[in-house]
Chain A
Amino acid sequence: MNDQEMSGEKPGVAANDGKTYSGEIDDVEVDDQKDNVKVDDKKVDEANVAEKEIAASAMDEKKFRLVSRRELLKLAPVLALGAFAIPGLQEGLLKKGLGFSDWVSARLFRSEHRATTFENADVAPFDKFPINGYDVDDPGVDLENWKLTVSGAVKKPGRYTLAQVQALPGIRQNTRHVCVEGWDVIGRFGGARLSDFLTMIGADPTAKYITVNCADDYYESLDMATALHPQTLLCYEMYDQPLTREHGAPLRLQAPTKVGYKQAKYLMELKVTHVLDKVGYWEDQGYSWFYGL
């Protein structure tokens, strides 16, 4: 039991006001300016006193209401969440939230963190690997005369053949393809490291982005850190066979540290750039840009 009477201080203030409650209260303020307010130890529940050393004070009903109302008003910050319900603000706020998530994602990304690779036995059969196109499964690429147009911050812009890509060291990896929808499938992919290709074309190492345009008018972009990741491929093989048309023949992106819609198919143009002018088809619909796993 520990009563402190602090006469005349803070009129209308109840016990604990402005103080952090910490389990064992030992400093309770009592306002006894009004004569109808008294501290009366005997009125305090005997059990409480004995068991818990709780200090007691008293206030009148009016003050209790006042204190209650003031405490209620302190919850006003909760109403700030109502901004999300205002149509004019909602879109901007959600875009900011998504942008913040992307910003954190980019900072969490570590080049040395590899996507899990799997045994051949864990790979889904080829016919169980979903074909997800945004428009058509086969945009009718002329595979005979296909060339990849390279532009932007590179020393050797121009048109590159599939043979030039295939001349780079070949990589085969069994990795998980994760779709934004929620499904995932383990597939077998083969190709050249995008980082090797960037070296070959003399890409500016200080450039920040890679953008690609596709035969089906799809477009995508990658941050440079992901482009240089050792598991990020210019993929020309699936299941040890040349890419089929539905899976993006002759060349697609395969970045297992990214979500599915970043794995652009039917590549036609590749640009190395300091400024992102085209972000991505799904990003422009409202999806996350970075979406690193």
Chain B
Amino acid sequence: MSGAVIEIIQEKGKEKDSDPIVVARAAYEHPLVVRLCHWINTVALFVMVGSGLQIFRAFPSFGAKIPQKDLLHWPKAFAIGGWLGGALQWHLTFMWIYIATGVLYLGYQLFSGNYRQVLFTHRDIPGVWPMVKHYFFFGPKPVVRESYNPLQKQAYTSAIGLGILSVLTGLCIWKPIQFSWLAWMIGGFHYARIWHFAVMWAILFFVLGHLVMVILHGWENFVSMLTGWKKDPEY
């Protein structure tokens, strides 16, 4: 699914009024709700990870308290909140913003039908291998007729799934008794903390890949997440 492709006409170099020169095409790829959710969520995710790591610093282990075996010493400079209580304030405040953008995004995608732009389905499966060959093994670039190729869809769909998991595993830590069935499903309170931590790293792994791809795809692609319009889409 892609937006309407429009032509941008440059006035310079035009000989007659009736002879416009098409210099670029552009597509409206990212609706406002998606862009707002993306950027608010970016801030919220940053705060959630930073404060989460500060919370982790209070007990950087997943084992028993006695004897305590620390897993890693995360530097305070890369954490938010200053101390455990401060970090919890950030975490328990921004989780609402994080959840709100997620719910708004998912609701919008579902009801507008825009989810088809990013949702990875069985129809995308045949296109996965050619894209893998192109990305990693210098294969020819497959013809893409949509905003996102199968690998992009797979990545974004996974990211949404991880976002949902981060909320659910967090809920198991925050309310293991009120949502005991949920906590039970992932192995109880003790494992909820491990899952929550693992999901965070998975999200950070996605963010890393996402940033690399944004850089590789260039300026116009980046701008499209700000203005909605993508110049010279490759489809």
Contact = CB atoms under 8 A, between A and B. Distances in A.
A56 B7 contact: yes
B4 interface: yes
B32 A71 contact: yes
A149 B35 CA distance: 59
Contact of B112 (A20, A75, A183, A293): A20
Contact of B64 (A21, A37, A185): A185
A22 B7 contact: no
B188 interface: yes
Given A45-B5, A61-B10, A81 B40 contact: yes
B58 A55 contact: no
Nearest to B61: A183
B11 A180 contact: no
B39 A23 contact: no
B204 interface: no
Given A21-B31, A43-B22, A183-B61, A58 B8 contact: yes
A179 interface: yes
A94 B11 contact: no
B66 interface: yes
Contact of A58 (B1, B6, B14, B44): B6
B28 A183 contact: no
A44 B64 CA distance: 65
B219 interface: no
Given A36-B17, A43-B22, A72 B227 contact: yes
A64 B193 contact: no
B85 A28 contact: no
A51 interface: yes
A114 interface: yes
B96 interface: yes
A293 B192 CA distance: 13
Q: Counting chain B CB atoms within 10 Å of each CB, which of A21, A43, A69, A96 scores highest?
A: A21
Contact of A74 (B2, B3, B6, B32): B32
Given A64-B26, A130-B66, A182-B193, A98 B93 contact: yes
B195 interface: no
Given A178-B189, A282-B85, A292-B175, A61 B8 contact: yes
Nearest to A49: B5
Contact of B20 (A52, A58, A100, A183): A58
Contact of A43 (B7, B39, B90, B96): B7
Interface residues of B, number: 72
Interface stretch (A158-166, A205-213, A283-291): A283-291
A55 B27 CA distance: 11
Contacts of A101: 92-93, 95-96
B229 to A, nearest CB: 6
Which interface residue of B7, B26, B235 has the most chain A CB atoms within 10 A?
B7
Nearest to A125: B66
Contacts of A185: 64-65
Contact of B86 (A24, A37, A48, A286): A286
Interface string B60-99: 0100111010000000000000001110111011111100
B116 A23 contact: yes
Best-surrounded residue of B6, B26, B59 (most CB of chain A within 10 A): B6
B112 A22 contact: yes
Interface of A: 14-16, 20-25, 28, 35-38, 40, 43-45, 47-48, 51-52, 54-62, 64, 67-69, 71-72, 74-75, 77-78, 81, 84, 93-98, 100-101, 105, 108-110, 113-116, 124, 127-130, 176, 178-185, 256-257, 282, 285-288, 292-293
Given A78-B36, A286-B86, 8 more contacts: A20-B31, A22-B112, A23-B116, A38-B9, A71-B228, A114-B177, A128-B65, A183-B65
27 contacts: A15-B4, A23-B114, A35-B17, A35-B18, A36-B11, A36-B20, A43-B7, A58-B20, A59-B9, A60-B8, A71-B229, A74-B36, A75-B39, A81-B40, A94-B86, A113-B178, A114-B177, A130-B66, A179-B59, A181-B58, A184-B189, A184-B190, A185-B64, A282-B85, A293-B175, A293-B178, A293-B189
